[in-house]
């Protein structure tokens, strides 16, 4: 596999160029693109104590929940009861993305529209409730939709069911890399002719005692008691000690540039690069050198036909774990060389926590919005520099910048690494 970037070249034919024409998000900063972006630019923290479950006896009590989510805004009450919270998020984000894209779905095109929604967790909150009901009240009290509703591909299937999509529908379950991989693979599905339009992204809702206890036992979550709850997620900061678990969803509408032009659609950005690579190292820890992450970034640059110094902004994976943030810093240095010290890098997980399978999709939306507005969201809670993390992390305050091309990184459990490159639509 060739990994050296190829020389800059002319864009491919319009029917091979993949653009983003709609976006929808459900996030701890709010539901919808407007409150999400406003919160990011303002540097607001959405981390705090849980309102959905009692974590008072656990070492980690800080989470990033979606506030005031109303599933009935996207679903009828009868349907909402059958769906997991992750599927509810996915349908809500998909409906917003389709509306944002001004895309009409009807008998003329529904066979050519598909959904690729990442999800990895099999709905722990619903599993926790059903397990408790089984042992307390017996098998007759189990929700009849429990098993089907908790399958990892069900958010994608529910998007198809609720929106009437008859096209290519599937899921990706590569944990924290899954949302970005869903977007990258959806672009490939369109390029090879298996769909004209894809709703791509990720959805995850894992916050419950079972999940928190499990991640605590892995020593993955922050357990600091000496910091305010809204300052618990602190990527690249010397006091970081683990991530804050979040929830949410992000869905993008992807289509060919030629089709978007034909229907006079607004074009947010063009997906010009996608790369993925494996660490083959450890079930949870990244490779200490950042080698796998670096290979994913190089492959994304190769596909985009770019040199690293042409990237104007990097949206970092940056979970706020001691090892992960160092590994990503080393990976960026490997790929960018001296330019690593000039490129602005920021981590929105400092504000919304780690949305696991949804993270890459929501962060892709943030990256595209940064390109559109010429503003880089900050890395908040950055107060104590770490000598091992010595790059420009856009600390604490958003920054205006001339942005044309940006990269977003997503790295998952098991050593799965993914990178996406977006640009302002060339020639538009």
Active site residue 176: yes
Helix pair 154-163, 85-100: axis angle to 10 deg? 50
Residue 78 CB partners (closer than 8 Å, separation 6+): none
Q: Which long-range contacts (CB under 8 A, 24 or more apart) does 57-60 make?
A: 58/209, 58/212, 58/213, 58/216, 59/216, 59/221, 59/223, 60/212, 60/215, 60/216, 60/221, 60/222, 60/223, 60/242
Structure tokens at 210: 């079972």
Query: The tokens of 297 are what?
Result: 């970034």
Marked catalytic residue, from 60, 157, 176, 208: 176
Q: How far is the first Cα of the chain from the last one, in angstroms, to the nearest whole number?
A: 32
| Cα separation, 406 vs 28, whole angstroms | 24
Whether the Cβ atoms of residue 276 and residue 177 lie closer than 8 Å to each other: yes
The catalytic residue among 60, 157, 287, 317 is 317
Please provide residue 117's backbone torsions phi and psi, each rounded to the nearest 5 degrees: -115, 120
User: Is 354 an active-site residue?
Assistant: yes
Q: Which two tokens stand for residue 261?
A: 């032009």
Structure token pair of residue 418: 């993914």
DSSP state of 425: P
Q: Can you tell me the distance from the alpha carbon of 428 to that of 413, in angstroms, rounded to the nearest whole number?
A: 38
Residue 21 CA: distances (Å) to CA of 199, 368, 413, 426: 10, 11, 30, 14
Listed residue (278, 409, 276, 289) closest to 343, CA to CA: 409
| Residue 72 known to be catalytic | no
DSSP letters spanning 59-119: S--EEEPPTT--GGGTS-HHHHTTS-HHHHHHHHHHHHHHHHTT---STTTGGGEEEEEE-
Residues annotated as catalytic are 176, 317, 354
């Amino acid at each position: 596999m060739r990994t050296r970037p190829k020389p800059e070249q002319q864009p491919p034919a319009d029917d091979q160029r993949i653009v983003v024409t709609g976006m929808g998000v459900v996030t701890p900063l709010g539901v919808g693109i407007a409150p999400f972006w406003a919160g990011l630019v303002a540097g607001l923290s959405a981390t705090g104590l849980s309102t959905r479950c009692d974590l008072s006896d656990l070492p980690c009590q800080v989470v990033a929940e979606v506030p005031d989510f109303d599933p009935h805004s996207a679903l009828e009450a009868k349907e909402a009861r059958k769906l997991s919270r992750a599927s509810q998020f996915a349908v809500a984000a998909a409906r917003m993305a389709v509306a944002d894209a001004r895309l009409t779905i009807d008998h003329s095109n529904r066979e050519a529209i598909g959904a690729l929604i990442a999800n990895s967790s099999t709905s722990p909150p619903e599993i926790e409730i059903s397990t408790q009901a089984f042992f307390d009240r017996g098998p007759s009290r189990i929700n009849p939709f429990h098993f089907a509703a908790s399958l990892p591909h069900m958010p994608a299937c529910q998007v198809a069911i609720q929106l009437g999509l008859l096209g290519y529908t599937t899921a990706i379950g590569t944990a924290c890399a899954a949302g970005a991989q869903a977007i990258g693979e959806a672009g490939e599905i369109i390029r090879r002719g298996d769909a004209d339009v894809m709703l791509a992204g990720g959805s995850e809702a894992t916050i419950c005692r079972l999940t928190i206890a499990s991640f605590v036992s892995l020593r993955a979550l922050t357990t600091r008691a000496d910091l305010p709850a809204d300052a618990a997620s602190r990527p690249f900061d010397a006091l970081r000690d683990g991530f804050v678990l979040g929830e949410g969803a992000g869905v993008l509408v992807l289509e060919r540039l030629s089709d978007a032009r034909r229907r006079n659609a607004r074009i947010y950005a063009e997906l010009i690069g996608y790369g993925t690579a494996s660490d083959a190292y450890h079930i949870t820890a990244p490779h200490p050198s950042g080698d796998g992450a670096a290979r994913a970034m190089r492959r994304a640059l190769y596909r985009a036909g770019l040199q690293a110094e042409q990237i104007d902004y990097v949206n970092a994976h940056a979970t706020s774990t001691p090892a992960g943030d160092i590994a990503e810093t080393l990976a960026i240095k490997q790929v960018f060389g001296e330019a690593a010290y000039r490129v602005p890098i920021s981590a929105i997980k400092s504000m919304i926590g780690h949305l696991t399978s949804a993270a890459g999709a929501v962060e892709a939306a943030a990256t595209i919005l940064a390109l559109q507005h010429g503003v880089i969201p900050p890395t908040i809670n950055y107060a104590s520099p770490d000598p091992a993390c010595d790059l420009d992390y856009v600390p604490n305050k958003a920054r205006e910048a001339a942005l044309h091309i940006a990269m977003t990184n997503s790295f998952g459990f098991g050593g799965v690494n993914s990178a996406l490159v977006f640009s302002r639509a060339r020639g538009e």
